[in-house]
């Protein structure tokens, strides 16, 4: 029963997010503010990932999925923020996010809100491993044309990328 209500809430939140992004983009276009296509695409993909992450977190997941659950998030952070591109920061971020997820599951069970999830300490280790995999994947991908695109979009903000108006 609680899971069904949460699915509906997630669908409503996704719809609100889509409408909000459309309004923001229309406002940018109206005010002649440059729209960075790659940044919009990355933000959209990341937002959909967050909704999937919430859905996976509240349902039963297997070890293989648990290992890869934070990889996209760490890749996103490495792309968007140059100061987050160290393995140490990726591991610490993975730990903090995983610890927050596990702690929230524990609190939900203690407060008897839901008995769907149980706090598993090994999930911390698996999520940190997944964050490390994400960091390694970023470093493998961060070469050639992809490196040039990322650097132009997120590091050299003074260079014009695309002057697109929707």
In a domain, 165, yes or no: no
Residue with the larger pLDDT of the pair 55 and 48? 48
Within a domain: residue 151? yes
Is residue 119 over pLDDT 50? Answer: yes
Mean of pLDDT values over 135-143: 88
Structural domain contains residue 166: no
**What's the chain's average pLDDT?**
77
Q: Which two tokens stand for residue 160?
A: 């014009």
Domain coverage including residue 137 = 2-155
Q: How many domains does the chain have?
A: 1
What pLDDT is recorded for position 150?
77
Residue 166: per-residue pLDDT: 41
pLDDT at 101: 80
Q: Is residue 164 part of a domain?
A: no
The pLDDT of residue 7: 66
In a domain, 161, yes or no: no
- The predicted model gives 110-135 an average pLDDT of 78
Report the SS3 class of residue 120: coil
Quote the tokens at residue 153.
Answer: 């979009």
Please check whether residue 94 lies inside any domain of the structure: yes
The answer to whether 131 and 68 are in contact (CB under 8 A) is no
Cα atoms found within 13 Å of the Cα of residue 52, Cβ hemisphere only: 13
Q: Which residue has the higher pLDDT, 95 or 116?
A: 95
> At how many degrees (to 10) do helices 71-80 and 121-141 cross?
40
């Amino acid at each position: 029963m609680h899971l069904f209500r949460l699915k509906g809430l997630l669908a409503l939140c996704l719809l609100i997010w889509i409408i909000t992004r459309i309004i923001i983009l229309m406002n940018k276009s109206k005010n002649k503010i440059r729209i960075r296509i790659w940044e919009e695409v990355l933000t959209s993909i990341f937002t959909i990932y967050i909704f999937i992450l919430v859905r996976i977190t509240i349902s039963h997941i297997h070890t293989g999925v648990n290992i890869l659950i934070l990889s996209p998030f760490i890749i996103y952070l490495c792309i968007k923020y140059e100061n987050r591109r160290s393995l140490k920061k990726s591991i610490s971020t993975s730990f903090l996010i995983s610890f927050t997820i596990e702690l929230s599951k524990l609190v939900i069970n203690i407060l008897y809100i839901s008995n769907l999830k149980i706090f598993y300490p090994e999930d911390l280790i698996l999520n940190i491993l997944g964050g490390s995999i994400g960091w390694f994947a970023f470093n493998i991908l961060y070469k050639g044309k992809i490196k040039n695109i990322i650097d132009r979009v997120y590091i050299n903000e003074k260079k014009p990328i695309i002057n697109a108006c929707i």
